[in-house]
Amino acid sequence: MLAVDLHTHSTRSDGTLAPADLVLRAQQRGVQVLALTDHDDLSGIAEAREAGIELGVHVLPGVEVSVTWHGATLHVLGLGIDPQAHGIVAGLAGVRAGRLERARAIAARLEDAGVVAPLEGALRLAAGGGMVGRVHFARLLVERGLVRDTSAAFRRYLGEGKSGHVRHRWPGLDVAVGWIRDAGGVAVLAHPARYGLRTARMRALLEEFRALGGEAVEVVTGNHTTDEQGMYARLAGAVGLCASAGSDFHGPGESWWDVGQLPDLPAGCEPVWHGQPGWVSARA
Ligand code: AMP
Ligand code: MN
Ligand code: MN
Ligand code: MN
């Protein structure tokens, strides 16, 4: 088992635990290095770091940036960023404004599908943070009894091609990696198996990502099977990228894996934290 978890969410995006409660849970589960990586939002970092100092968990400031790459939506993690760096702070403010516009469009579609006052409902459920996302709509649909759980909400309403789905243009891969690097962070491609790309296209993505300054691929994640872990370990090595590991924990009962429940990286991987002695030695 690893004592690091480099991908987690709090109430500042679409997780269900406040940042300090997330750090407490991580500490109780033996995590020594934890990255808080809320979607397109940095507002939980200060609270998480304070809790980390108190509890003896090294909290890495992080983010999960939404990206559009040749029509596909990708997620890029920024680890060890300076949450005050101007470029990323201003850039993510723009992404969150775009999320609000998208939420209005999603709400209009859901209203056409017979859902009453969806925007108000989603914004109420998003009130713990600065960003509104599809998960807030999913939780509203559950609350209203229209679906049984959030994954049914994605299947029936919010997923690609469904009545409440809206195409959205996120920042480009080059832009997102630029924000992360300019903020002193390490860029990691999150959960690659989720994108449904064929091997040749995935390889092209990884090569482009590396050329832009990306440093690692998330090999171990709750979204990957053991076979996928092995496949992305090999691909990362072939392209010269390091390997990362994170649960993508969103809250108790909301995720495949709990925080800090990570198996070791497959043999032969170059762990992204090996090149970052400060991530480990800075812990209490
Ligand atoms: P957004 O960035 O607002 O489009 O929302 C993406 C988030 O929705 C992901 O980070 C997951 O938390 C969640 N999500 C995506 N697909 C599903 C699914 N099929 N079931 C449950 N949650 C999902
Ligand atoms: Mn999420
Ligand atoms: Mn993601
Ligand atoms: Mn995530």
> Scanning the structure block, which residue is given the tokens 């990884």?
206
Pocket of ligand 1 (CB under 6 A): 14, 39, 66, 133-135, 150-151, 154, 250
With CA atoms as reference, report the closest residue to 62 among 35, 27, 23, 33: 35
Rounded CA separation 254/138 (Å): 12
Q: Which residues 6+ apart lie within 8 Å of 69 measured at CB?
A: 172, 173, 205
CA–chain centroid gap for 239, Å, is 23
φ/ψ bin of 207: left (φ > 0), alpha (ψ from -120 to 50), beta (otherwise): alpha
In the chain, % of residues over pLDDT 70: 98
DSSP state of 170: P
Rounded CA separation 114/73 (Å): 28
Which numbered ligand comes closest to the C-alpha of 135?
Answer: 1
- The widest CA-to-CA distance across the chain, in whole angstroms, is 54
Residue whose Cα lies nearest atom 3 of ligand 1: it is 133
Average pLDDT rounded to a whole number, residues 239-262: 94
Phi, then psi, of 28 in degrees rounded to 5: -65, -25
Task: Quote the ligand 4 centre to 260 CA distance (angstroms).
Answer: 14
Of the pLDDT bands very low, low, confident and very high (cuts 50, 70, 90), residue 63 is very high
DSSP notation for 107-164: HHHHHHTT-SSHHHHHHHHTTTSS---HHHHHHHHHHTTSSSSHHHHIIIIISTTSTT
Query: Which residues have a beta carbon within 5 Å of ligand 4, which is an ion?
Result: 64, 248
Atom nearest to 40 CA in ligand 1? 2
Average pLDDT rounded to a whole number, residues 238-243: 98
Ligand 1, pocket-test mutation among 92, 106, 148, 154, most atoms within 8 A of CB = 154
pLDDT in tens, 68-99: 999 999 999 999 999 999 999 999 999 999 99
pLDDT in tens, 169-205: 999 999 999 999 999 999 999 999 999 999 999 999 9
Residue whose Cα lies nearest atom 9 of ligand 1: it is 135
Q: What is the pLDDT of residue 283?
A: 44
Using a 10 angstrom Cβ sphere, with 0-12 exposed, 13-18 middle and 19 or more buried, the burial of residue 153 is buried
Average pLDDT rounded to a whole number, residues 43-68: 98
With CA atoms as reference, report the closest residue to 72 among 170, 206, 211: 170
Which numbered ligand comes closest to the C-alpha of 76?
Answer: 3
Ligand 1, pocket-test mutation among 100, 135, 150, 158, most atoms within 8 A of CB = 135
pTM listed for this prediction: 0.97
Using only C-alpha atoms, what is the Rg of the chain? Answer: 18
Of the pLDDT bands very low, low, confident and very high (cuts 50, 70, 90), residue 59 is very high
Rounded CA separation 170/67 (Å): 5
